[in-house]
Structure formats: structure tokens, C-alpha cells
Amino acid sequence: MEQDITLQINNLKTQFFTSKGVIPAVDEVNITIPKGKIVGLVGESGCGKSMTAMSVMQLLRKPGKVMGGEILFHGQNLLECSKQELLRIRGNRISMIFQEPMTSLNPVYTVGRQVREAIMLHEDISKEQARKRVIDIFKQVGIPEPERRYGAYPHQLSGGLRQRVMIGMAMICEPELLIADEPTTALDVTIEAQILNLMKKLREEHGTSILLITHNMGVVAEVCDYVYVMYAGKVMEQAETFELFKNTRHPYTIGLLRSIPQIEDKKEHLYNIKGMVPNLLNLPDGCSFCNRCEYATKRCEKDRPGNYRINDLHNTRCFLYEKGGDFIGDK
């Protein structure tokens, strides 16, 4: 029996046209988000995670533009929707928690009014009913004194409180798809756990599908059902979460996992992946990770690897698995 798919991204290409050249921010990305599942999108800063989310929401600013592919929301291609259709979908059926809450909230309106308007735009309810809903969601996301905070302006709140307001705004219409771009970055570990539990509750009680963008592999291990590892605009490895952690394959993913501090590890220096993410204007001819990979060969420098199948749950973009063999090195 096939899974019900909430979002299917097929061969998505998003580019930025600059005076210095074309930047391939998202390069033929494929992501599947089943109904009621949490899908993690991980990688270093500048790898294209947020650009993928902004492409889905159709919120790219010039000079960015989606140049190819499909974004199918319950089979409907969002790239072919009119502005009016997108207005009905965004904030209601699809919501997004943005990475920087200060630039996402309007400084001249109270936070309560802004969240209230998000409900009233999509639902036929009174201001008082909407106000009660806002105060209730503020309680759920851990905002202290929610009645008082309802009348506060963004500059009167801390970064963590502003982030919780944004999370509440995204969740209040109980969307079918929630895109969360680093939703717990500004929060302490206690509130982080509370927000992650709230996401899991939203998934369990309402069947909400979630795309969780993060660099925190610990968060991925805790809440995600599937994981996509992104690097330089491409998905380098994809698998079910347990499979990815148990049977890690791509050298980049291995490097990310080795970089996580371990309590029992007594080494003087924490492992780090050598080098930096390449300039997208000057990518290598071959594999985009070859300049940082300790297993790279001459072929990696000149040819681009395909997306090779490890098993039914697992694909990776590395020549080491072109024939489905095991990794030839120490993890």
C-alpha cells in the first residue's frame, strides 16, 4: 500500500542571477514528505536548505528564481498556482517558521495582532475568538504571561520569545505541512525540547507533515522519520533516520556525525571536516565535496556522481557505492 504523500519535490532547480554569474542554490533536489511524517533536511550553512524551503513557499526574492522541476502539494504543482491560490495555501495549509524572527515580525504591530490576523485571514471567526486562540497557542509554545505578551511589540520581546511567537503563528491554523527553518536556534534546551514535543504532538493529533531544517543531528535523531543530507545545493544522502545513523554512507554525512561532541570522548580536539563549503559560483567540475573528502579520487574531481541506491531505504551520491558495495574506509 502506497503512502499518502503531502509534498513531493522533483528535480527542483533554483538559481540566482548575479553580475558575477549564475548561482545554483538548489540543484536538481528530490524530497518526499509523506503524510504525518517529520523529514529532516540537514547540512552546513550555505548548502541550500533555506533556499529549498523558500522555493516551496514561492517566497524567493530577485535575483532568485525557480528554473525547473516540480513542487507537488497533494499532487498540485505549486509552481503553476496563481497568486490568489498561493495566498489561500500559504499560512493555512502550508506554514513556515522562519529562521530570523526579528525580520519576520512587523515592528509597528503587536505580536498578538499579527498572529490574530493570520487566523482571521483564513477562518471566519470574530476578533475575540481569534484573541482567545492566540493566547492559547502562546501558552502551548511556552510564552510566559501570554495575556500580557499579546499586547507587546516585537522589540519588547527577547529573541527566544519572538521565535516562539513565530512558531505559534505557524501552528495556529493547524497546517497540513509545516516547514520549520532552524526553529529552536534561539532557544535554550528546555524550551527546545518543549517546541520539539509540540511539533510531535501536532503530527500525532492532526497528521501534520513537517519539514525540519536544521544542522543539529541530535534533533534529527530525536524527532525525524526520514533524513536528507544537503551539500552545495545537492542532496548527498537520504534514508530513514535509523538507517542513516546505523548505516551511514556518504563521507560528508560521516564527517557531520563525527563532528558531534561525545561525552565519553577524551580526545583533545573535536573532529572537523577540513576546508569550507565551496563558492557556488566556482564549483568543482566533479563532485562538489571532492576538495574536502579524504576518499576522493581523480574521477571525483572530473565526474559528477549519480544518486546510487544502497537499499530500499537508502540512496547516496558517491562513486564508492556505484555498484552497491560497502564503504572502503574507516568511519
Tens-place pLDDT, residues 247-303: 999 999 999 998 877 766 666 677 788 888 888 999 989 999 999 998 999 999 999
Of residues 58 and 330, more confidently modeled: 58
- Average pLDDT of span 118-132: 92
Confidence (pLDDT) at 64: 94
Which domains can be identified in the chain, with CATH numbers? Answer: 5-231 (3.40.50.300), 250-331 (no CATH)
Query: Which cell numbers hold the place of 259?
Result: 563532528
- Kindly report the number of other CB atoms within 10 A of residue 142's CB atom: 18
The grid coordinates of residue 205 equal 493529533
Global pTM reads: 0.90
The confidence score (pLDDT) of residue 205 equals: 84
What is the band of 7 on the pLDDT scale with cuts at 50, 70, 90? very high
Q: Is the pLDDT of residue 328 over 50?
A: no
Best CA proximity match to 73, nearest among 181, 212, 170, 178: 178
Count how many Cα atoms sit within 13 Å of the Cα of residue 236 in the half-sphere of its side chain: 28
| pLDDT > 70: percent of the chain | 94
Taking only the tens place, the pLDDT of each residue in 210-226 is 999 998 888 999 999 99
Distance of CA 125 to the CA centre of its chain: 32
Region of residue 304 (phi > 0: left; psi between -120 and 50: alpha; otherwise: beta): beta
| Span 18-46, pLDDT tens digits | 999 999 999 999 999 999 999 999 998 88
Instruction: Write down the pLDDT at residue 1.
Output: 35
Cβ neighbours of residue 13 closer than 8 Å, sequence gap 6 or more: 24, 26, 27, 28, 29, 66, 67, 68, 69
Is residue 306's pLDDT more than 50? yes
Distance CA 170, CA 313 (A): 31
pLDDT band at 327 (very low <50, low <70, confident <90, very high): very low
Average pLDDT over residues 239-247: 94
Using an 8 Å Cβ cutoff, are 315 and 243 in contact? no
What integer pLDDT is reported at residue 179 of this predicted model?
A: 95
Please report the pLDDT score of residue 263 as a whole number: 67
Cβ-Cβ contacts under 8 Å for 222 (sequence gap 6 or more): 196
pLDDT in tens, 173-222: 889 999 999 888 767 888 788 888 888 888 888 889 999 999 888 899 99
**Cα separation of 112 and 144, whole Å?**
14
**166: pLDDT strictly greater than 70:** yes
Q: Output the nine-digit C-alpha cell for 244.
A: 542513516
Mean pLDDT of 61-80: 95
How much is the mean pLDDT over the chain?
A: 89
Nearest-5° Cα angle at 324, 322 to 328: 85
The confidence band for 147, taking pLDDT boundaries of 50, 70 and 90, is: very high
Per-residue pLDDT averaged across 222-238, rounded?
A: 95
Q: How many CA atoms lie within 13 A of 324 on its CB side?
A: 5
